[in-house]
Amino acid sequence: MSKFILAVDAGTTSNRAILFNHEGKIERISAKEFEQIFPQNGWVEHNPEEIWATQKFVIRDVIKKHKINASDINAIGITNQRETTIVWDRETSEPIYNAIVWQDRRTAKYCDELKDKGLTKKIHEKTGLLIDAYFSASKIKWILDNVEGAREKAEQGKLAFGTVDSWLIWRLTHGNIHATDVTNASRTMLYNIHELKWDKELLDIFEIPESLLPEVKQSSEVYGTTVKEHFGGAIKISGIIGDQQGALFGQMCIEKGMTKNTYGTGCFVVMNTGTEAIISKNNLLTTIAWQLNDEVNYALEGSIFMGGAVIQWLRDQLQIISRAPEVESLALSVPDNGGVVLIPAFVGLGAPHWDQYATGTIIGLTRGTGKAHIARAALESIALQSMDVIKTMTEDSGIDIIDLRVDGGAATNDLLMQTQSDLIEQKVVRPAITETTALGAAYMAGLATGFWSDVDEIQKLWSVDKVFEPKENSNTDQLIVNWNKGLERAKHWNK
């Protein structure tokens, strides 16, 4: 049997290829950032050709630097930024517009119109989602309505839609496969998560022809193979899972009530609810966790738009740090935030507030405020947003979280993890391998091909790096009071 599984991790700011061995350990990583495009206020785009080019580059880079051949790779698993929307020409494989990223808010007013029509309940019951510009459906409609000739071509069956996973599979297979999995489909606002099919009524509401859509598969099955010329040989593609669901599986949160938080560009708290789709009463999302061996697991999810991206903002816009890891030492140079509260609603507020008109706010500034106080408040804002979601999730599910399993780039920040533990008054567990999003995709791919025999075998591979216990004298009460006051001032600012 081939020695490795290759995980393709198509993120929001970079693409990565990660080579895992049979013990679930990383052998090699290659990463490459790509351009973030901001055509107007609230608009966020990517160049789909650049997404493909950077992804192809990092896969080739891993193969070359590890001195292996395509035949050494058992299978490819894909995990991806969800909701990001790409429409391309089926004949030429060329995108007709840039990818509209999940953070993009251009369709916010259209979403308000849908709410005014009384469609919130219907869409929530069918999809588990709230009407918001975050999801793919309104983005697809925008492209069809605003790109010349797009709607006519779509009606003729000449266009294809996909989230990033579908786009990459299309290019990896030279257009032979137009597919996605249930986790990505469940984030489009067009997929009925109970009946497991594209919903004709929702397609009519959004005026989207069904011919545009990919075939929906399980998260773990052999979909096809890459064409030989890409990597010097054909490689099976046998895992697809949205990034947050991938992290849930990679963290081995396989039982009902197990919960993880990924601290990536955004933060995403996800709780496994087993085979039951719990419809939230408190503005959380119900989503499909995965489909494996014909069984569907569901999850509750709270999406936070600005997580690690807050640190990027400190680095790139404020320029108070030159590298992201510097934020921890800067924040630790002061004993507390000095009364500063930072509400990182740069693209609105996600769960549980769902206020697309909120804006970023810094409050509590005095003459004594320095960059270290702002850095500390920025880190705290990530933990405070996560706290809001976790508390809401516990209320919705009736399940107490025993511990919180964490991953993503910012999970390596000890101050942030300790603050998180203090705020939720629970253990925070960081695994030995924090690349759990990619690991989940690798596991899905390897299970489909027999690289790993079953979930029990995989579960034995999970190991802990560090556990953060809540401190008794953490003084979080005032932090929470100030946070809630700041939230109220940031909400509805642009309305």
Query: What tens-digit pLDDT sequence spans the chain (495 residues)?
Result: 679 999 999 998 899 999 999 999 999 999 999 999 999 988 999 999 999 999 999 999 999 999 999 999 999 999 999 999 999 999 999 999 999 999 898 999 999 999 999 999 999 999 999 898 989 999 999 999 999 999 999 999 999 999 999 999 999 999 999 999 999 999 999 999 999 999 999 999 999 999 999 999 999 999 999 999 999 999 999 999 999 999 999 999 998 888 999 898 889 899 999 998 998 888 889 999 999 999 999 999 988 889 999 999 999 999 999 999 999 999 999 999 999 999 999 988 888 888 878 999 999 999 999 999 999 999 999 999 999 999 999 888 888 887 899 988 899 999 999 999 999 999 999 999 878 899 999 999 999 999 999 999 999 998 899 999 999 777 899 999 999 999 999 999 987
- Asked if residue 167 belongs to a domain, the reply is yes
- Asked if residue 210 belongs to a domain, the reply is yes
Domain end (from 223, 243, 263): 243
265 is in an annotated binding site: yes
pTM: 0.86
13 is in an annotated binding site: yes
Please check whether residues 404 and 480 belong to one and the same domain.
yes
- Domain extent, residue 485, equals 252-431+463-494
Q: How many CB atoms sit inside 10 A of residue 494's CB?
A: 14
14 is in an annotated binding site: yes
Half-sphere exposure of 245 (CA within 13 A, CB side): 35
Please check whether residues 237 and 260 belong to one and the same domain.
no
- Asked if residue 231 belongs to a domain, the reply is yes
pLDDT of residue 363: 96
CB 344 within 8 Å of CB 306: yes
Q: What is the torsion angle, in degrees rounded to the nearest 10, for the CA atoms of residue 91, residue 96, residue 102 and residue 108?
A: -130
Please check whether residues 193 and 146 belong to one and the same domain.
yes
244 is in an annotated binding site: yes
Q: How many CB atoms sit inside 10 A of residue 286's CB?
A: 23
Please check whether residues 394 and 483 belong to one and the same domain.
yes
- Asked if residue 294 belongs to a domain, the reply is yes
Name the helix (H) or strand (E) containing 230. Answer: helix 228-231
Half-sphere exposure of 103 (CA within 13 A, CB side): 25
409 is in an annotated binding site: yes
Looking up residue 407, the CATH number of its domain turns out to be 3.30.420.40
Give 366's DSSP letter.
-
79 is in an annotated binding site: no
Q: How many CB atoms sit inside 10 A of residue 467's CB?
A: 12
Q: How many CB atoms sit inside 10 A of residue 488's CB?
A: 9
Q: Is the peptide bond before 352 cis (omega within 30 degrees of 0)?
A: yes
CB 418 within 8 Å of CB 411: no
312 is in an annotated binding site: yes
Measured distance CA(215)–CA(161) in Å, rounded: 11
- Asked if residue 225 belongs to a domain, the reply is yes
Please check whether residues 309 and 192 belong to one and the same domain.
no
Please check whether residues 202 and 289 belong to one and the same domain.
no
- Asked if residue 436 belongs to a domain, the reply is no
Compute the chain's Rg from CA coordinates: 22
Please check whether residues 186 and 304 belong to one and the same domain.
no
Domain end (from 220, 243, 266): 243
Please check whether residues 216 and 352 belong to one and the same domain.
no
Please check whether residues 270 and 337 belong to one and the same domain.
yes
282 is in an annotated binding site: no
243 is in an annotated binding site: yes
- Asked if residue 328 belongs to a domain, the reply is yes
pLDDT of residue 386: 95
Residue 17, strand partner residues? 8, 30
Measured distance CA(166)–CA(151) in Å, rounded: 20
Total domains in the chain come to 2
pLDDT of residue 435: 84
Please check whether residues 116 and 190 belong to one and the same domain.
yes
Measured distance CA(113)–CA(128) in Å, rounded: 19
- Asked if residue 474 belongs to a domain, the reply is yes
Q: Residue 319 contacts by C-beta under 8 Å, 6 or more apart in sequence?
A: none
413 is in an annotated binding site: yes
Please check whether residues 234 and 262 belong to one and the same domain.
no
Domain end (from 212, 243, 274): 243
Please check whether residues 259 and 390 belong to one and the same domain.
yes
Residue 118 structure tokens: 């009384």
